[in-house]
């Protein structure tokens, strides 16, 4: 039997030495490399192609959730066992959702670590026993919190990476008011930071459902929907998204509206929500474009009807959009109430006919 190849990733050399001594007691296992930061981790995985990575996710130059997603995508057979001192529910759940195969607490007995390694290598999952009760309690008491329109709007801006001053300008509120909103929002979501709030939203994109962003100084109001008709708006201009969401919300109070400014978040929403219709701007931020977005949205949600929109209509864009699977290509200046109503009614009728 060939030895399992293991890579250790922890920024504390003493900790790595202790883990290595434990691993050396396991038969048919070889530690092929040790690293202390995120950059080195990616390089050594590529170099050694290990079977298992033991990783402390608080290393320098390492953003846990995106990095884990990337590793799982590029090395689908690689097992990942987190060995951490952190036992926060949100943190643990976020990493488990990202695709790690186990989560082991550093303060647990060394024999438990050996068992964790063996279980993960055998294709099982591992969670340290002190975490199990906490996770079960959290799940049994969890419910997706209902957010006001203002809270949804601010959470969306957090997701897009905007700071407090930018959010204040976009909402017409003071920076101090935004800080107060964030304090209440963090308490409601049971998180401690912007990163944790964004990670929570990544796992619960339905939080942005039934959302029409409020205009500056508009009163807060809870949002309701009686029937799940999902509409996704993808545009890197938040003001246009707000305007379009407002018009759509007026047309049909039963519609749940989701917004995105880039392809990654649009695909994530489409995969989890399966919207009925997606309005996608042809020109997105950076090198992204609506043609790419249409293809990826339809890959994860084939039933979604995509409508490409643009302030600069072009025949070639139209041709490529139709080839990508869009049902229409519309000039933004023609996207009036009548046109939107026709599109929504046609899509709803078609969906009902197929159901």
Q: What is the pLDDT of residues 255-281, one digit of tens each?
A: 888 888 888 888 888 887 888 999 999
**Within this chain, do residues 207 and 261 fall inside the same structural domain, yes or no?**
no
**What pLDDT band is residue 184 in, cutting at 50, 70 and 90?**
confident
Q: Is the pLDDT of residue 222 over 50?
A: no
**Within this chain, do residues 250 and 178 fall inside the same structural domain, yes or no?**
no
Least confident among 70-79, 83-92, 243-252: 83-92
Choose between 57 and 234: higher pLDDT: 234
**Within this chain, do residues 236 and 189 fall inside the same structural domain, yes or no?**
no
DSSP code per residue over 283-339: B-STT-BHHHHHHHHHHH-TTPEEEEEESS--HHHHHHHHHHT-SEEEEGGG--HHH
pLDDT, the chain, mean: 81
**What pLDDT band is residue 5 in, cutting at 50, 70 and 90?**
very high
What is the domain count for the chain? Answer: 3
**Within this chain, do residues 86 and 188 fall inside the same structural domain, yes or no?**
no
**What pLDDT band is residue 232 in, cutting at 50, 70 and 90?**
very high
Domain with 262, as residue range(s), is 225-355
CATH number of the domain to which 174 belongs: 1.10.10.10
Q: Is the pLDDT of residue 289 over 60?
A: yes
What's the alpha-carbon Rg for the chain, to the nearest Å?
23
C-beta neighbour count of 221 within 10 angstroms: 11
Question: Residues 202-228: what's their mean pLDDT?
Answer: 46
CATH number of the domain to which 51 belongs: 3.40.50.2300
Tell whether 114 is covered by a domain.
yes
Question: Residues 203-213: what's their mean pLDDT?
Answer: 54
**Within this chain, do residues 125 and 156 fall inside the same structural domain, yes or no?**
no
Choose between 351 and 164: higher pLDDT: 164
**Within this chain, do residues 102 and 173 fall inside the same structural domain, yes or no?**
no
Paired tokens of 202? 């990544």
Tell whether 17 is covered by a domain.
yes
**Within this chain, do residues 271 and 306 fall inside the same structural domain, yes or no?**
yes
Q: What is the pLDDT of residue 305?
A: 92
**Within this chain, do residues 237 and 174 fall inside the same structural domain, yes or no?**
no
DSSP code per residue over 43-108: HHHHHH--SEEEE-TT-TT--HHHHHHHHHHH-TT-EEEEEES---HHHHHHHHHHT-SEEEETTS
**Within this chain, do residues 253 and 280 fall inside the same structural domain, yes or no?**
yes
Tell whether 220 is covered by a domain.
no
**Within this chain, do residues 108 and 161 fall inside the same structural domain, yes or no?**
no
**Within this chain, do residues 198 and 251 fall inside the same structural domain, yes or no?**
no
**What pLDDT band is residue 318 in, cutting at 50, 70 and 90?**
confident
Of 109, 140, 171, which residue sits at a domain end?
140
**Within this chain, do residues 130 and 188 fall inside the same structural domain, yes or no?**
no
């Amino acid at each position: 039997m060939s030895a399992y190849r293991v890579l250790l990733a922890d920024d504390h050399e003493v900790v790595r030495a202790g883990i290595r001594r434990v691993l050396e007691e396991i038969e048919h296992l070889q530690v092929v490399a040790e690293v202390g930061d995120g950059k080195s981790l990616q390089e050594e995985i590529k170099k050694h192609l290990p079977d298992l990575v033991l990783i402390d996710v608080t290393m320098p130059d390492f953003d846990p959730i995106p990095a884990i997603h990337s590793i799982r995508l590029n090395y689908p057979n690689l097992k990942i066992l987190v060995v951490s001192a952190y036992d926060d529910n949100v943190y643990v759940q976020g990493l488990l959702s990202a695709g790690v195969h186990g989560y082991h607490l550093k303060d647990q007995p060394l024999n438990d670590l050996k068992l964790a390694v063996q279980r993960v290598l055998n294709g099982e999952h591992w969670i340290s026993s002190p975490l199990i009760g906490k996770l079960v309690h959290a799940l049994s008491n969890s419910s997706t919190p209902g957010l006001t329109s203002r809270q949804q709007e601010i959470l969306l801006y957090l997701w897009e990476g905007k700071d407090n001053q930018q959010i204040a300008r976009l909402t017409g509120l003071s920076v101090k008011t935004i800080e107060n909103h964030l304090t209440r929002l963090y308490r409601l979501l049971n998180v401690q930071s912007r990163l944790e709030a964004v990670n929570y939203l990544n796992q619960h994109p339905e939080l942005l459902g039934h959302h029409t962003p409020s205009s500056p100084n508009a009163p807060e109001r809870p949002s309701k929907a009686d029937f799940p008709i999902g509409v996704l708006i993808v545009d890197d201009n938040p003001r246009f998204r707000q305007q379009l969401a407002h018009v759509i919300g007026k047309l049909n109070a039963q519609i749940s509206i989701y917004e995105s400014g880039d392809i990654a978040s649009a695909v994530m929403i489409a995969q989890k929500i399966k919207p009925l219709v997606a309005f996608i701007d042809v020109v997105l931020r950076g090198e992204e474009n609506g043609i790419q977005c249409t293809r990826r949205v339809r890959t994860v949600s084939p039933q979604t009807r995509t409508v490409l929109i643009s302030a600069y209509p072009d025949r070639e864009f139209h041709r490529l959009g139709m080839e990508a699977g869009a049902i229409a290509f519309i000039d933004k200046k023609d996207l009036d109430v009548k046109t939107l109503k026709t599109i929504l009614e046609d899509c709803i009728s078609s969906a009902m006919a197929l159901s």
